[in-house]
Structure 1
């Protein structure tokens, strides 16, 4: 059913009449259900193709009392992480015969609340939240109590479940890997730029970094740290401020790739050679991290896996095979060494 253009006037009754079968038979063929002979199946598919028929998803939803879509709540679609996540989630949703309805909050909590009120339970059967940075947990729990399936993916505190089914990764482990890399390369004057408040969404990454720094007996003060927002621009400004105040730093840990790319630009504008004069390490491994020059050394988190498992968990929850306490863990983060770090000489 790919060569013929879609004909909105074609109906399932037209297909049934032309193929000489019942409407139920056409429905079974198109959905791969029921017992239908191969000859009948071929005739129905050829007729549907010839007429340009496509199933009416809204009508199907009314009959089956379920929406054909799953809602995906994103914080900012311009952040390269989220399109990568959404692509993997969409491919997984299609495997469950669902379509993905993407809702971009643009870091506006009220907008996120509005999406939840309008979409959940009407246009979609369930809600997958890519992270909860802009959506209060209490609001998500309230939605859950109304009977709307909700799953949080990219949950960064595996030891503190949110009371909502979630997919999590070892954020502290990611921070430890990044810090260990710098320590093993001989760095002792290390700055930190975190794309959230200290106890915010990136708090686990920062805590893992700090654990390694303390264990290595590296002295670090608030003068060596900047807490900002998770964007290229804020990473750039934070790095300019930090490096102007602490030009003796030989390395910077950044909690996420997007602000880290801003750090690379700021270092260049201030005359710091990367990695000769300054090493930069980050977390996530978005596509631009592989394309920057120098390439960004980062700790890769399982983005696609979190998206796929998030969709699967939501479908399981909708089917009653998961509970509010369900926590799904993903693969361990992995260090990816590129050109932005070097051993201290």
Structure 2
């Protein structure tokens, strides 16, 4: 790993000048600034933020970048990550992007390597990974959290959850209850981050002989309102499904509410199952059957992996991907046997 002294020697300036350039302080000529920045990037310089924090009396800090703090899953993950960080003597700051790639980039530029020693990132797709790789190259350790494709490791260190298997588990539960007229609500677009949950579900029901799922699938967004809209479409169809799979708990709650608004009984008329097991899942009525993913475990693993990188993981270019334990079924009041046909 390059040092300030090495960059200073190659740039023909003092270490104090290099420090001022990298920290945006002092008056430094534009040519010198560009020369220093180019060398720092070329050599992969990473500041020793631990030492800097001790000298300046600042706390050791990690950052967590989430797409929407309004989604209750993210505060639950953030709480688990904050507890894990605090056990290691670090503070956690949460950066909310509102699904805006430019805002995410701004957070990484301003927080990574400056206010925070490393960054945890939720729901990074392939485009955003280029921004994350650039941040890593500048010396900011980055860990992707809740990566949904364990069989396809990303180009960054990550914690993976087998969401494909979660979809299969949901399907197996509905099939065991006798359901064959099944609909699906996906909380993302067709190529969005929920597609692997849906594929796991679709593959499982196809193996059981259910071949028309695609005709009864609605793609949308991970919100209660999107669940409302999708449920009204599915439950108003001439062939109303007896069960609906939802790729996340939040839109599943919207499905439950719309079923009630339409005068349908859950689960007598229609069963509903989600994925994640947020706290609201057991607090609503009827309580939501879901496939729980190991949120607490994933948060702790992500923090520990990030800290191992901060404290000096081997610099061999390795990009570790660690997998959590498997998802598990949590059967509650929103699923029951398929209605008997007259």
Instruction: State TM-score, norm by structure 1.
Output: 0.80
Instruction: Name 1:333's counterpart in structure 2.
Output: 327
SS across alignment from 2:95: strand
Residue 294 to residue 247, structure 1, CA distance change in 2 (3 Å): farther
Cα displacement string for residues 232-260 of structure 1 (whole angstroms, at most 9, x for unaligned residues): 11111111122112552100000000000
Higher mean C-alpha deviation, range 242-251 or range 64-73: 64-73
Q: Is 1:208 matched up with 2:204?
A: no
- C-alpha separation in 1, matches of 2:319 and 2:145: 14
Q: Is 1:194 matched up with 2:186?
A: yes
Q: Is 1:245 matched up with 2:237?
A: yes
SS across alignment from 2:325: coil
Shift of 1:223: 2.7
Residue 276 to residue 134, structure 1, CA distance change in 2 (3 Å): farther
Higher mean C-alpha deviation, range 328-337 or range 221-230: 221-230
Residue 340 to residue 262, structure 1, CA distance change in 2 (3 Å): same
SS across alignment from 1:163: coil
Instruction: Name 2:97's counterpart in structure 1.
Output: 105
Q: Which ranges of 4 or more aligned residues in structure 1 deviate by more than 4 Å?
A: 57-60, 64-67
Cα displacement string for residues 207-251 of structure 1 (whole angstroms, at most 9, x for unaligned residues): 100111110011215330000000111111111122112552100
Cα displacement string for residues 28-52 of structure 1 (whole angstroms, at most 9, x for unaligned residues): xxxxxxxxxxxxxxxxxxxxxxxxx
Structure 1, unmatched stretches of 5+, are: 1-56
Instruction: Name 2:154's counterpart in structure 1.
Output: 162
Residue 247 to residue 293, structure 1, CA distance change in 2 (3 Å): farther
RMSD: 2.1
Cα displacement string for residues 238-289 of structure 1 (whole angstroms, at most 9, x for unaligned residues): 1112211255210000000000000000111112111000000110000000
Contact 2:244 2:273 in 1 (8 A): yes
Higher mean C-alpha deviation, range 61-70 or range 272-281: 61-70
Instruction: Name 1:234's counterpart in structure 2.
Output: 226
Higher mean C-alpha deviation, range 261-270 or range 218-227: 218-227
- How many residue pairs get matched? 289
1:153 to 145, 152, 162: 145
Contact 1:105 1:134 in 2 (8 A): no
Instruction: Name 2:264's counterpart in structure 1.
Output: 272
Instruction: Name 1:52's counterpart in structure 2.
Output: none
Instruction: Name 2:313's counterpart in structure 1.
Output: 321
Shift of 1:124: 0.4
- C-alpha separation in 2, matches of 1:289 and 1:133: 27
Instruction: Name 1:27's counterpart in structure 2.
Output: none
- C-alpha separation in 1, matches of 2:204 and 2:77: 29
- C-alpha separation in 2, matches of 1:247 and 1:270: 15
Q: Is 1:342 matched up with 2:336?
A: yes
Instruction: State TM-score, norm by structure 2.
Output: 0.81
Cα displacement string for residues 308-328 of structure 1 (whole angstroms, at most 9, x for unaligned residues): 100000001112226642011
Residue 254 to residue 246, structure 1, CA distance change in 2 (3 Å): farther
